[in-house]
Amino acid sequence: MYSTLLVFHSLIRWLVLVFILYSIYRAFVGLVNDRAFSKTDNAFRHWTATVAHIQLMIGIILYTKSPLVKYFWKEKESSFQNLELTFYGLIHIILMLTAIVVVTIGSAKAKRQQTNKKKFKTMLVWFSIALIIIFIAIPWPFLPFSGRPYFRIF
């Protein structure tokens, strides 16, 4: 189960990134062009948050099953000296939880705004902040302590 969820978690991150980037794009274009907040805009707002929450649920399950995380919490004193263990045991989950909270707040606030301009601006600001946090928290292959691939396969 762990390895299968790890593959899904790795693949769904791209879906999260696509949704959030496209939502940011739609919000920017809508704001700049003074467009009406359409059903499609609202659907992307909603689905961006939904896909992010699905990713979060998979991530939480992985966190509870991860041998790396279990070792981190078992050997806290020495684990903090290892950047990879600290990243997966603490940094990754805190930043990703923060990013999902930001997406959730941004989605809820955008939904409740009264004007189109405010809806687009709210979505643009909150989703952009979340995107920055997500980019920081993803274990990219070029990071010296991670070395995770762009795509995991079964």
* pLDDT the model gives residue 142: 87
* pLDDT the model gives residue 154: 66
| pLDDT, tens digit, 9 for 90 and up, residues 21-72 | 999 999 999 999 999 999 999 999 999 999 999 999 999 999 999 999 999 9
Looking at the predicted structure, is the pLDDT value of residue 146 above 80?
Answer: no
| pLDDT, tens digit, 9 for 90 and up, residues 73-117 | 999 889 899 988 999 999 999 999 999 999 999 999 999 999 999
| pLDDT, tens digit, 9 for 90 and up, residues 116-135 | 999 999 999 999 999 999 99
| HSE (side-chain half, CA atoms, 13 Å) at 89 | 21
Predicted structure pTM score: 0.91
